[in-house]
Chain A
Amino acid sequence: MVPAILTERDLRLDLFRGLALWLIFLDHVPNNIVSWFTIRNYGFSDATEIFIFISGYTAAFVYGRAMLQRGFVIAGARILKRAWQIYVAHIFLFAIYIAEISYVASSFENPLYVEEMNALNFLRQPEITIIQALLLKFKPVNMDVLPLYIMLLLLFPAVLWVFLRSTSAALAASVVLYALTWEFGWNMPSYPSGHWFFNPLAWQLLFVFGAWCALGGAPRLAPALRSPITLWLAIAYLLFAFAITLTWHFPRWGYLVPRWLGEWMYPIDKTNLDVLRFAHFLALAALTVRFIPRDWPALQSPWLRPAILCGQHSLEIFCLGVFLAFAAHFLMVEIYGGFLMQVLVSVAGVLIMIATAALISWYKRLEGRGSGTPKRPASADVAGGEA
């Protein structure tokens, strides 16, 4: 089936991507009391799933239309240009990270942490570290998402080509790749050892599923989503996941999880996008779509505006969030890491993200390519921020 691409902007995508960006930031601030708000404490999946799904959706939306109108070469070139932008952003963040770590390392001495300080040895071999970072093999803590995104976009021209011929075939191929990845343990190598924390060969499933929804899958799912069976299944699964997560917070209740269930369920693998995580995301998405319609009036309210703004400039705000998490850790190390500081850096960080998103919107309007006057055909902004 040749996909029918929706034409109207779906503000829900912007809203939830903006919220996901905030949650990712809060989760990245180490030892942050505020992060108990974030969804990963109440179920299997977390904000990363939301971010990758919506990114797949918007990428298909923007570049799918470009490919239909301008052909494979032009659309493919635009996708690769986007991947390049993200690569540059990643390397920029890496430079900031090295600056922070070098500073923290130079003042760090404590006989309690002799072993942990070995982690700083990579600073002694800049020639290796920097090359490995440029090859996306050395990825510092919390800098795993952008390399995943780059890989997904590099594959996307081919994926989109298949999509424009048969959406079902594209989704099926994605599922097969996911299954083979699990079966044979495929992943990409990391430096100094190990593999990518977010295995692109597994996580592509969520990205391609997002694309499938954008390219005509959503209407096909609609009857299933309206069914009360889906509703109750989703609610039951979310409650189940919540109960299981509670036993992580309170290990004494661990015995309430039957042994066979634990053996079947654990480990819940984030690296390879465990089916339990994927199902948890699906359940959340099913409830969201059911209870928050496309024309939900609150989407126009000023209260949700900040999150929507952030979601509309996802690359910039994501990178800013990574930087702010580093900065927050720096302040906690150098000044004070207690409760008040955790709240302060969390609130300040989200406010800075909102202010920056507003600034970018204002600037883009000034340049005359904002949402008000879409001069360029198939502007990325129409789809809710860049892909």
Chain B
Amino acid sequence: MRTWTAVRRAVVLCALLLCSAGARAEPADLCAVPGYLLFGDNLIERVTAAVRKDKTLKIAVLGGTSSTLPGPDGTSYAYPARLEVALKHRLPNLAVSVVAHTKRRLSASEAAENIKKLLVNEKPNLVVWQTGTNDAVRGTDPAAFRATISEGVENLQAGGADVILMNMQYSPRTESIVAVDAYADSMRWVAREREVPLFDRLAIMRYWYDAGRFNLYAATKDIGMAKSVHDCISRALASLIIDAARLEPQEGAPAR
């Protein structure tokens, strides 16, 4: 099932060819993501309730290095910080905070151990759980990986937090080195089983690559593209949160 996306990409490609043949005039939004890649049917109703009641939205991001950027000001350009900016912009009436709990080489089982502490210390309404990469690198048993996330999501929900799962980045250079598909499939199944939204970073970044938005093959020390990718991820994630919580973004704030 490694290429669920293959048919989808063929469809996208045909659509792109048709579009580029038709209207070339309008400059496309760099970050645009087709709805079928972004939105599902799973709602985050605890978030909806908290927003109605307290006008607050406390988000915790639990993840590894791919939720950060290197460099002294990397944190402020990484997607968790950018998510806060994007949500504040689109939901100006809410007190939005996003706190990132990231650790180098964090595996799913290590992240799962931190869940209790996170729930007690922060009491987040929503936890964005980014995982998969390090387990794929280490070659964790996919069945064990699936059980870990499934249990972790259950614990988070039992602790009163909603969960959005985020899978790995699309990394074409390491595609013949790390086999991510079994882990991506595991996360899709857990999202389905626990009825939580999945932010399919893998498919979304692959879409951006196929659409020519970012050259993800590039070998470069320049952080410019990495910043843009994280910014786009934060905007797409903000859209997913707003959609899944059925929130109403401020009029005039561009829906991206």
Contacts and interface: CB of A to CB of B under 8 A. Distances in A.
Contacts of B178: 116, 119, 141
Interface string A52-84: 000000000000000000000000000000000
Interface residues of B, number: 69
Contacts of B168: 116
A276 to B, nearest CB: 12
A178 interface: no
A250 B6 contact: no
Contacts, number: 180
B28 interface: no
B124 interface: no
B66 A115 contact: yes
A232 B100 CA distance: 55
Contact of A141 (B140, B177, B210): B177
B217 A332 contact: yes
Interface stretch (B155-163, B222-230, B238-246): B222-230
Most chain A CB within 10 A, of B36, B65, B217, is at: B217
Nearest to A329: B176
A119 B137 contact: yes
Contacts of B105: 115, 118
A35 B3 CA distance: 8
A193 B41 contact: no
A100 B179 CA distance: 16
Contacts of B64: 115
A55 B27 CA distance: 54
A267 B185 contact: yes
B176 A30 contact: yes
Given A110-B219, A193-B140, A142 B176 contact: yes
Given A109-B220, A190-B139, A267-B189, A337 B41 contact: no
A6 B221 CA distance: 63
A195 B206 CA distance: 28
Interface residues of A, number: 61
B192 interface: yes
Interface in B28-83: 35-36, 39-41, 64-66, 69-71, 74
B176 A101 contact: yes
Given A113-B173, A248-B4, 9 more contacts: A100-B176, A110-B219, A119-B136, A141-B178, A190-B139, A191-B139, A194-B138, A194-B142, A248-B1
20 contacts: A27-B3, A31-B172, A36-B6, A108-B219, A110-B220, A110-B225, A111-B222, A111-B226, A114-B65, A115-B169, A116-B178, A118-B105, A194-B142, A245-B1, A255-B41, A267-B185, A267-B186, A269-B143, A325-B176, A339-B13
Interface of A: 27, 30-33, 35-36, 38, 40-41, 100-101, 104, 107-120, 140-142, 190-195, 197, 245, 248-252, 254-255, 262-263, 266-271, 325-326, 329, 332-333, 337-339
